[in-house]
Amino acid sequence: MSEPHQSPISPGRSWYEDTCGERPRYPALDGSTRADVLIVGGGFTGLSAALHLARAGVDVVLCEAAWLGDGASGRNGGQFGTGQRLWPEEMEDRYGLDRARRLFAMAEDAKAGLRETMLREGIEADFRPGQISLAHKPRYVDEFRRHADAMAERFGYLNLRFMDRAETAERLGSPVYHAGLRDAGTGHLHPMKLVIGLGRAARRAGARLFEDTPIEALTRGPGGLWQARTARGTVSAARVLLATNAHGGRLEPASAAHVMPIRSFIAATEPLAEPARVLPGEEAADDSRFVVRYFRKSADGRLLFGGREAYTSASGDVAGQIGRQVASIWPHLADVRFTHAWGGSVAVTMPRMPYVAQPEPGLDVIAGFSGHGVMMTHWTGRLYAEGVTGSGETLDDLRGLEVPAFPGGTWLRAPLLFLAMTWYALRDRL
């Protein structure tokens, strides 16, 4: 039997890898080829763009440096969420009501679009409905109540309901949070199964997929074609999509300065002895901390708990730290055993909205969905494809968002972000 695969770009072996079924392999690119569009990066963004381009008859090549899903896409919390990363009221303050409504509607389309793709392509990824958000301090209670009202009254979203402390405790199986919101219009899934399904669907549609194929350099060649160099060949294409998210940097450093990688970690317990005592309604959950805790149960009754963000490369004792967070919510799980602990890189931007840009003609960048990329990456990849074929909506609403570069240049931006995040993490605790 072959050795289990370990992502070379993300730490730890994930529970998803052990439960995703057969993970198909795609060859490394050997030699030179030409395509209409080259996609760099085989996560949700790249796979969605490849699938939708290939379905429209475009000749598309996707090159992934590692295996499909080895970045954030195969290893995340699996929560769809609702809306963009910013709450609609925050978007309204920043962009005005009309634009905020368009961005919210886009995210609703994203949710429906991903479900539609899964149905159409026969992708079975353990989807389960329901999500709750939890107020970890009393001062968030009124904010939550106002948020539910604003979602209904200003954005027409009727699936969100405020929960008082007693109902929150019942739905969580713990009294530690002060209030909650229950969103019946969203859900969660097994992300690696989604990656695999999207890869198969893109391949079936005619996309050429390559793994173990890092793009090493990107230049403009004769006739304005983009030339991408790999270890054993080249790809030339009229258009290139950089879907490298938190793992970009070298290929197009100017854009990469707008996106910062932050490590986030998840640990999986053994199947719980009494699963009905934790999230009995099977919702996914997140809380109001800046260093957010996010968790849900797996289909086989484990607790998958994400809670520790690190802003440096050191991953430390993930299960130990997460174990303490779990016990602080459910004391009866103080001795629960963890079978897996893993991490991945989330790509954040200054305004916490995605970075969608065209730094040069024919070269597009889509990145920076923070912890909100499961459905939005899929939709953005689809909108990119529709923009290429001229067949539908475009990415203009996202391209027009102001997403400044992180201050401090290549050397200083990571330490500056570390300081800022440490400050916010401290505020969570005070």
Ligand X SMILES: Cc1cc2nc3c(=O)[nH]c(=O)nc-3n(C[C@H](O)[C@H](O)[C@H](O)COP(=O)(O)OP(=O)(O)OC[C@H]3O[C@@H](n4cnc5c(N)ncnc54)[C@H](O)[C@@H]3O)c2cc1C
String marking each residue 55-84 x if it binds ligand X according to CB under 6 A = --------xxxx---xxxx-xxxxx-x---
Nearer to ligand X, 130 or 371 (CB): 371
Instruction: Verify binding: residue 43, ligand X, rule CB under 6 A.
Output: yes
Q: Which is nearer to ligand X, 141 or 157 (CB)?
A: 157
User: Hey, what are 2's tokens?
Assistant: 């072959």
Question: Minimum Å distance from CB 430 to ligand X?
Answer: 25
Q: With CB under 6 A as the contact rule, which of the stretches 16-24, 36-44, 142-150, 356-364 interacts with ligand X?
A: 36-44
Given 214, 275, 351, 362, the residue binding ligand X (CB under 6 A): 214
Shortest Cβ 305–ligand X spacing (Å): 11
The footprint of ligand X on residues 376-415 (CB under 6 A) is: 377
Residue nearest to ligand X (CB): 373
Q: How far is the CB of 153 from ligand X (least distance, A)?
A: 26
Instruction: Kindly identify the residues of this chain, within the stretch 252-271, that bind ligand X according to CB under 6 A.
Output: 264, 266
Nearer to ligand X, 75 or 239 (CB): 75
- Centre a 10 Å sphere on the Cβ of residue 38 and count the other Cβ atoms it contains: 25
- In 126-273, DSSP assigns E strands to 128-135, 160-163, 179-188, 208-210, 217-220, 226-230, 233-242, 260-269
- Please select the residue that binds ligand X; options are 51, 371, 387, 406, rule is CB under 6 A: 371
Size of the chain, expressed as the number of residues it contains: 430
d(CA 10, CA 181): 32
Q: Which two tokens stand for residue 295?
A: 């968790």
The answer to the question of residue 372 lying near ligand X (CB under 6 A) is: yes
Element (H, E) at 28: none
Q: What is the DSSP letter of 183?
A: E
Which tokens sit at 276?
């009905």
- Which one of the spans 50-58, 102-110, 197-205, 365-373 is the region binding ligand X (CB under 6 A)? 365-373
Q: Which is nearer to ligand X, 154 or 352 (by Cβ)?
A: 352
349 binds ligand X (CB under 6 A): no
Q: Amino acid identity of 112?
A: A
Token pair for 170: 């019942």
C-alpha to C-alpha distance for 15 and 343, rounded to whole angstroms: 11
Q: Is the dihedral of CA 104, 37, 46, 261 positive or negative?
A: negative
- Whether the Cβ atoms of residue 61 and residue 208 lie closer than 8 Å to each other: yes
Dist CA 217 CA 169 (whole Å)? 53
Instruction: Find all residues with CB under 8 Å of 408, minimum gap 6, and list them.
Output: 415, 416
Q: Interaction with ligand X in 283-322: which residues (CB under 6 A)?
A: 294, 306
Among 37, 132, 198, 251, binds ligand X (CB under 6 A): 251
Q: Footprint of ligand X on this chain (CB under 6 A)?
A: 9, 40-46, 63-66, 70-73, 75-79, 81, 214-215, 243-248, 251, 264, 266, 294, 306, 343-346, 367, 369, 371-374, 377
